[in-house]
Structure formats: structure tokens, C-alpha cells
Structure 1
Amino acid sequence: MVNPKFSVIVPCYNVEEYVLKCVRSIAEQDYDNLEIICINDGSTDSTLSILRQLQQEIKNVRVIDQKNVGLSGSRNVGIKAATGEYIMFIDSDDWLDADTFAKTFETGFDLIIFSYNRIFKNIIEPRAYNLSGVYPVSEIQRRMIGLIGEELRDPSQANSLAAAWGKIYRTAIIKDNNVEFVDTRIIGTEDALFNLQYLEYCKGTVKIIDKPYYNYIRFNVNSLTAKSKPNLQSQWKELHKRMAVISEGKDLIFQQAYHSRIALSLIGLGLNEMARKDGNIKIYKEISKIIQDPEFKKAIKSLDFHYMPPHWKVLFTLAKYGNAAGVFAMMKLMDTILKRKNN
């Protein structure tokens, strides 16, 4: 029996240091029916020449060269070009373990999710989902919208399931329903919305494998997803509006999850502000703006602190009572800890 065909989509932008390892980690899988679609998104370094070299060496590598359109647009180009029954997305500075396909793929599921390692310069952190097995679509969709109850033991996991990588999608569900990535310039973070829209059309079940097979680099300053975003606050407001539309008409638990997402967005928004280059006074003002936002204030009032570890309780309590100086100090500490992992 012939294995179902896979289309592995790899958007590439200025990744000359990483793309060789990425593509070879796909090509060397113990799986004989796949195409590797590499989209060179207007790179200004030697990425394209490396991709052309790989195309000569590896028969199932396809290279698409285009002007820069960004990560979302590049993934959409890859989707249109895909001819496989299943699609997988990989960021071009990341890589797969050698046995990823053999250990994760199984027919009969609309979505397969597997865990990942976070690769810092000096530390490798396996990321546990604390979920394993087969789940109804609605449960995974709700969790992608927001954490509730005991899930709030680790608020930093709010977006852990939302990435487009580390997943196996059915191509037909994507193409038949015109599921696309929305430009990050509109919503700031494209993956979560793509997954939520995809799950709207899934009729089967989702399988989660809580073992890391994907390796996610956290120290590439040229990464398509690593740069600070000056408009992230307004972009996430638009993202939340679109998530609200998906949540409408669903169980009350979806509304609870939605408000949780807005409250927990403080983590991502705060760390984004820490990357600013225009000084602490400006950062402080932006932190104050985040926690004084009416939608955030409403959401954090309903956030359940009960299961949170002490440091998270402190952060969100400070935010709840409008203490911008305290939130600023906590975000500075978090930012320092993350930077130390890469030094």
C-alpha cells in the first residue's frame, strides 16, 4: 500500500544559516511519498542559492521564488502549490527529528498535533502539552481560544497549541473551504486564527502526541516570527474580534476561554514592548495602556487566579488593580530571564 502523499511547506526569508539543516531534516525522514515546497520570500542573503542547490540534490524539493510578501502570504502560496493529501508547515530555521513521520502520522484524524522542543542557545526545553490521546474538535478549538480552570497552572501555555508547525492537516479541508492565513499586519499572529478556522470544518477527531518531534529555535534574530511588532496591540484587537465571531453560538465555556485569552495576552504584549528600542519611559506608558484598556480590564476581572503559581498570581493581580509600575517590573524580570537563556 502506497503511503499518502505529504506536502511540507517551508517559507524562507534570510535563513542561510539554518535552511540546509531544516530541509535535510525533512528529506531524510523514513517516509517515501512527500514533496518539500520551499518558498523563497525575497531573501537578500544566499538563501535562494542554497535552495537551488538542495533542489539539484534532492528530487522532491520544489523551489518557488517570489518578492517578499511575509510569512502568511508565503504559506498561502505553498498551500496553492501543494499536491499532497496532507500538509505540514515548517519554519525554515527549525528542524524535525529523524523519525517524525514514522512516529506521528496515522490515518483517520482531521488534525494531528505533536509537541516540540524550544531551542535556546544554551538550553533545550521540551514543551509539554499535558494532553495526549484523541479529542473532539470542539475541545481543541476551545483550548486554542483560551485556557480555563486547571489549564491556568501555566499561563505561558496560552498559545502552545496554536502554532501552525507541529501539525498534520488534511489538504482537502484547507482547500475545499478556502482556509487561508490572514496577514500578520492585520492580526499580529496568524497561526491561531488559521487553526480555529480549519477546525470549524473538521468533522472527525484530533490526535495529540505529547512528545517533542519538532525543534523550534528561539534565538534567530532574522526569524520570520521573532521581530518586535510596534502595532501588536491594535493587531491583536482585530484578532480577538475574529475569534469572538468563531466563539459566537458555542457553549458558554468558549466565552470564558475568550476572556481568558484577552487577559493572558498581557504576557505576549508585555514582552513585545520589552523589545522596544526607545527607552523605559515609552515601555512603561505602553504597559499602562495595555492594562487600562477597557476590554482587558473586563477580561481580567473574570480571570481565575486559583490554579496559578505565585509569580503569575502576582503579575495578574498587579494588572487587575492597574499597577503599571509593578507590571513593568515583572515584565522586565521575565524578559531578563528569557535573554539569559540565549547568552
Structure 2
Amino acid sequence: MEEETKVSVVVPIYKVEKYIHRCIDSILNQTYKNLEIILVNDGSPDRCGKIAEDYGSKDNRIKVIHKENGGLSDARNYGMKQVTGEFTMFVDSDDWLEIEMINNMVNSAITNKADVVQSAFYYAYEDKLLLDRIYDSQNASPEILDKKTLMHELVTNEKVKNFAWGKLYKTEIIRDIPFKKGVLFEDVFWAHHVMHRVNTFLMLKQPYYNYYQRNDSIVATYTIRNLDMITGLKERHQFIKEYYQELLDESLKLLLRTCLVHYNLLLANRKEDSDGFHRKKIRTYVKNYNSELALIDDKQLKKQLILFRIHPYLNVGFLIINKVLRKMNLISQPLLQVEVRRL
């Protein structure tokens, strides 16, 4: 029976006093009861530690760990040391779960002998829930991916997301793969190592995870640390080069596209790169792939790269013109998300 299988839920906690009750309550209220809930207080300066202890005193399924602040990766790694369940799930402390999530994911994992199960998810705003268009058909049957297909979907970042959350993992698959400490976008450094070990990956089309979207703009809060995304993709590209040669082109397209995005973000936040060092570094890196330009089959990306090679401002101008044309409905704009309901 599924209920005989213990599931460990690791929740790193830092400065989320406003959201923590919603998160923990959504785990405690799961229809699946055989849980080990590991709350890792990552040196939070607010009342989060006290709130976690209060929950721990009321439910013996909860373990509370207090540690000095070390970041999300460090908190997850600490939590993993305490895991005793056959399956493990990560939940970010400002997110929340639908009540049937764990029950349905465990049942699906056991039935399909899956190493990892991923559910669809909502982009959760204060007043509405949005769903990826690829999951628009919520009544669709689960989809099983073999390793080759799984890695392709991970690299293209469409069906399979890099996020550690929103998935149920066999603990033995991930126990000895720690998250890289001291970086942002830690999941990008981690996910491909995990998926490399997976034989059966199951995708559920129903959205069970609510990914909370704060109002902070990436342009307004951008720092040099955001460039960790490029570093992570570069590391993954080398991994792809070693193990999945057939995915090199897809990996390169995402890497170069990400370089262009971050170059423009650095332009919008010049104070973070006042001497232009990081912009120059990105431009040099992109130019190193000039010989691969002819192989890129994405027409939009190819145009951007050609303009960027001549001068980065030409690419910026190209994007501005396209944005204006979309607002005037002179060119189509793909609908990436669909509104599901108002809150």
C-alpha cells in the first residue's frame, strides 16, 4: 500500500514569515499522511524559527533544524542529511501544495515504477493562477519519458523544468548529489546530474504545486550574482558534451540565448557592471561560437546573434522594435500561459 511508503518533505526557510503558515499547512493537510516534514530554519532573522518550532511541538511528523544562514542550497543539503523516507520532495517556503499532490504522485511513482515524478504547476499570483500552455489539457494521461527524451526535455526547458521543487524523487537517486553552495539558480547546477541517473521519468499533467510569484522585478533587483545562471548552463553544456552529444545544439542555443538576455539586463543595470567587465566577458564568450552560427536553426536567435556580433545595441533595438510590433498586433505573440482562475 502507498501509505506504507514514507515521503520526506524538505522545506528550507528564510525570511518568509508572511507565507510560512500557508506552506506548512498545505503539507500537513495532505491526504497522504505518512510524511516526514523537515523544516530547515536557515538563520532566518524574523519569527520563522519560532513558528517552525510551534508546528514541531504539535505534530510529531515534523523535524525542525536551526542553522546559520548559508543559502538555499546549504539548507536543502542539511535537510537531506535527515531524510529517512523512500521518496523525497522539496518545497520552497513561499509556495504551497494542492491537497492531493503527494498521494497522487506516490501512487503514480509506485504504479509506473518511476524514479522521478513531476507534476504540472501554477504560477501563483496574489489574485490569479496561471498555467503553462503545455499543461493546458489537464485531463491528459501521464507521460513516461525514457532517459534520452528526458534529457532533451530538460535541455530545452519546456516540459521538464530544472526546478528541484514540484517533483517526487526516489531518495536513493539524489541522496549523494548535493546542491552547489553559494550560487543562485542552484537547480540548474543540480538537475542534469539527477536526471542522468533516471531510467523512468513520469510527467503528470495535473497542476499540484503553486509556485508563488513575488512582485519584485528582475530588472529592479538584478545583481551580478544573477550571472550564476550562465555559469550553471556552461557547466551543464560541458556535461552534455561528455554524455549527450546529440543534444549539444539545443544546449548551445539555450546558453547563447541566456547570454543575450543577461547582457541586456546588465545594460539596464549599468551600476552593477560600471566598468563593463561582465558585459565584455559575455560578448567574448558569444563571439567564440561564431563558427556555430550557421548551424543554429532558430531564425529569431540567429538574427539576434548576428546583430549582437556587429554591436549589442543593434540587438537591443531589434527587440524593442519587435515589442512595439507585438503591441500593435502586427506580429503574433505566443501565449505561454493561460489564466485558470482568480483568487
What TM-score do the two structures reach when normalised by structure 2? 0.78
Which residue of 141, 147, 158 maps to 1:137? Answer: 147
Rate the CA distance shift 1:3–1:121 in 2: closer, same or farther, 3 A: same
Contact 1:9-1:88 at 8 Å conserved across structures: yes
**What amino acid maps onto 1:325 in structure 2?**
Y
Q: Gapped runs of 5+ residues in structure 1? A: 148-156, 307-312, 338-343
Query: For 2:303, which of 313, 317, 320 is the aligned residue?
Result: 317
Change (3 A) 1:222 1:290: closer
Determine helix, strand or coil for the equivalent of 1:91.
Answer: coil
Aligned-pair CA distance for 1:325: 2.4
Gap change, CA 1:325 and 1:172, over 3 Å in 2: same
Question: How much has 1:268 moved relative to structure 2?
Answer: 5.4
2:122 pairs with 109, 117, 120, which one? 117
State how far apart, in whole Å, the 2-side matches of 1:68 and 1:273 are: 28
Equivalent positions of 1:230-269 (< 5 A) are 230-233=224-227, 235-266=228-259, 269=262
The one-letter code of the counterpart of 1:168 is L
Look up the match of 1:219: 214
Per-residue deviation at 1:248?
A: 3.2
1:150 maps to none
- SS of equivalent residue, structure 2 residue 224: coil
Does structure 1 residue 182 correspond to structure 2 residue 180? yes
Give me the whole-angstrom Cα distance separating, in 1, the residues matched to 2:75 and 2:305: 37
Alpha-carbon distance in 2 for matches of 1:265, 1:159: 18
What is the correspondence of 1:15-54 to structure 2 with a 5 Å cutoff? 15-54=16-55
SS of corresponding position for 2:4: coil
Shift of 1:297: 4.9
The secondary structure found in structure 2 opposite 1:32 is: coil
* Structure 1 range deviating more: 25-34 or 100-109: 100-109
Cα distance, 1:237 vs. partner? 4.8
Segment of structure 1 superposing worse, 8-17 or 47-56: 47-56
2:193 corresponds in structure 1 to 197
**Pairing partner for 1:127 from 128, 132, 139:** 132
> Alpha-carbon deviation of 1:3?
2.9
Percent identical pairs in the alignment equals 24
Cα deviation per residue 1:162-209 (whole Å; 9 max; x = unaligned)? 10000011111222xx21111243xx421133221112223x310011
Matches for 1:261-280 after TM superposition, within 5 Å: 261-266=254-259, 269=262, 273=266, 276=269, 278=271
Is 1:56 matched with 2:57?
Answer: yes
Post-superposition offset of 1:142: 2.7
Q: For 1:211 and 1:291, locate their aligned partners in 2 and report how far apart those are by CA, in whole Å.
A: 41
For residue 228 of structure 1, what is the aligned residue in structure 2?
222
Alpha carbon RMSD of aligned pairs, Å?
3.4
Deviations 1:271-313 (A, max 9, x none): 754774838x95999667634533465666543225xxxxxx3
Q: Which amino acid aligns with 1:193?
A: F
CA distance in 2, matches of 1:305, 1:283: 32
* 2:153 and 2:160 in contact (8 A); partners too: no
Name the structure 2 match of 1:91: 92
Quick one: which amino acid aligns to residue 168 of structure 2?
I
Identify if the C-alpha distance between structure 1 residues 287 and 126 changes in structure 2 by more than 3 Å, giving closer, same or farther. farther
User: Alpha-carbon deviations, 1:71-108, whole Å to 9, x = none?
Assistant: 01111111111010000001000001111123333211
Q: How does 1:289-304 map to 2 (within 5 A)?
A: 290-293=282-285, 294-295=287-288, 297=290, 302-304=295-297
Gaps of 5+ in 2: 328-343
Q: Matched residues in 2 for 1:299 and 1:122: separation?
A: 44
In the superposition, relative to structure 1, how do residues 245 and 286 fare at CA in structure 2: closer, same or farther (>3 Å)? closer
Which residue of structure 2 aligns with residue 79 of structure 1? 80
Please report how far the alpha carbon of residue 159 of structure 1 lies from its aligned counterpart in structure 2 after TM superposition. Answer: 9.1
Render the CA deviation track for 1:16-49: whole Å, top value 9, x for unaligned. Answer: 0001100110110000201110100011111111
Q: Offset at 1:251? A: 4.5
Mark the CA change 1:219 to 1:238 in structure 2 (over 3 Å): closer, same or farther: closer
Report the alpha carbon displacement of residue 261 of structure 1 after superposing the two structures with TM. 2.1
Contact 2:70 2:182 in 1 (8 A): no
Size of the alignment, in residue pairs? 310
TM-score relative to the length of structure 1: 0.78
Partner of 2:336: none
Q: Contact between 1:110 and 1:170, CA under 8 Å: does it hold in 2?
A: yes
- 1:117 partner SS: strand
Q: Which residue of 2 aligns with 1:341?
A: none
